[in-house]
Amino acid sequence: MFFTIIGICIGSVLFALLGYLIGGFVEGCDRRISARMQGRVGPKIRQPFWDISKLFKKEKASTNPSENTYITCALVLLVISGGVFFAGSNLLLSIILSTLSTLFFIMAAYSSRSPFSTAGGAREILQVLSYEPMEYFMAIIFYIVIGSFNVITVSLQPQPLIVYGWPVFIGMLFIQLVKLRKSPFDLSTSHAAHQELLQGTLTEMSGPALAKAKLMHWYETVLMLGWTAMFFLDARPESWIVAVVAAIVAWFLDIWIDNNFARVKWQSMISWCWGITLCTSIVNFIFVSLL
């Protein structure tokens, strides 16, 4: 128990540092690749780091002082969630902590009482509602296949999780779009200007609070890519390379979809997500029980 806690603490600190660097790099590549897909040159890869440092230096102002507290809590919880996952500890705990972090983010959006961010917060709740069941089904399948909730045990298995859990993997790929707020499902925030909700949850955040919200997105991206990579790990050392490549391919797919599909209504988002969750989970349960 003691060692687990120490491990999670070290994991969180390392995740806070490495997640920042990797997340920023991934975001930079995302913007660059998106620009190339649109026929533009795009900003430098370091651009997201410049954005963050600028935001931290801007004047502080918020309509409600508690906004900053909420957003800080959200960021810290997300870092701990990543720490739990990358330290190889409990997957279920990681999922719950990351949801809790999103709830704090929603509180931050609601705290300003502006109609734009309130609507953004409501839509964020719908997004949580869409992706949450899939995450728990993934954890259940994980437990059935591996026999434990500890992430570290995947690296002791003779075969990767994908062999028995490919249906939930497909579901997770779909959910990833919602969780990372990529285009068909970017209901709660939007990167481009002149949208019907301005920037949704981010509308009333400014300066350091906005910087923290951006950082949250980086950490979320790294965590989601970690969950994708987890499916490909096993006892063989080469599997680490396969896992990283798989995460990169999944992420590229996300960017491609982000740039090619228009936003859907929330009704379609929920029905698609739940439909896919139900299908992939049932198929996976049958598949696992037959073997």
Partner 1 sequence: MSKPSKSPWVIHYDASSCNGCDIEVLSALTPGFDLERFGVINTGDPKHADVFLVTGGVNTQNISVIQQIYDQMLEPKVVIACGACACSGGVFHSCYNLIGGVDKAIPVDVYVPGCAVHPTQLIDGFIKGLEILDKKAALMSSKKKNKQISQSSGVQAIPSPEAAEHKENSLNQETPVQKEETKRGA
Smallest separation, CB 225 to partner 1 (Å): 24
Using the minimum distance from each CB to partner 1, give the nearer residue, 51 or 254: 51
Smallest separation, CB 184 to partner 1 (Å): 21
Distance separating alpha carbons of residues 193 and 201, to the nearest angstrom: 14
Smallest separation, CB 64 to partner 1 (Å): 13
Which DSSP helix (H) or strand (E) runs through 248? helix 239-260
- Find out whether 120 and 199 touch, Cβ atoms under 8 Å: yes
Q: Identify the bridge partners of residue 90 per DSSP, sorted by sequence position.
A: 150
| Nearest Cα residue to 217 out of 236, 200, 238 | 200
Q: Exposed, middle or buried, 191 (CB in 10 Å: 0-12/13-18/19+)? A: middle
Using the minimum distance from each CB to partner 1, give the nearer residue, 1 or 193: 193
Distance separating alpha carbons of residues 90 and 100, to the nearest angstrom: 16
The two most distant CA atoms of the chain are separated, in Å, by: 61
Smallest separation, CB 41 to partner 1 (Å): 5
Using the minimum distance from each CB to partner 1, give the nearer residue, 193 or 290: 193
Which residues would be at the binding site for partner 1 (CB under 8 A)? 31, 35, 38-44, 47, 49-51, 53-54, 57-59, 61, 192-195, 198-199, 202-207, 210
Using the minimum distance from each CB to partner 1, give the nearer residue, 61 or 249: 61
Distance separating alpha carbons of residues 100 and 78, to the nearest angstrom: 8
Smallest separation, CB 76 to partner 1 (Å): 23
Using the minimum distance from each CB to partner 1, give the nearer residue, 99 or 195: 195
| Sequence-separated (6 or more) residues with CB below 8 Å from residue 131 | 175, 178, 179, 273
Using the minimum distance from each CB to partner 1, give the nearer residue, 182 or 214: 214
Smallest separation, CB 79 to partner 1 (Å): 23
Which DSSP helix (H) or strand (E) runs through 119? helix 115-146
Distance of CA 280 to the CA centre of its chain: 20
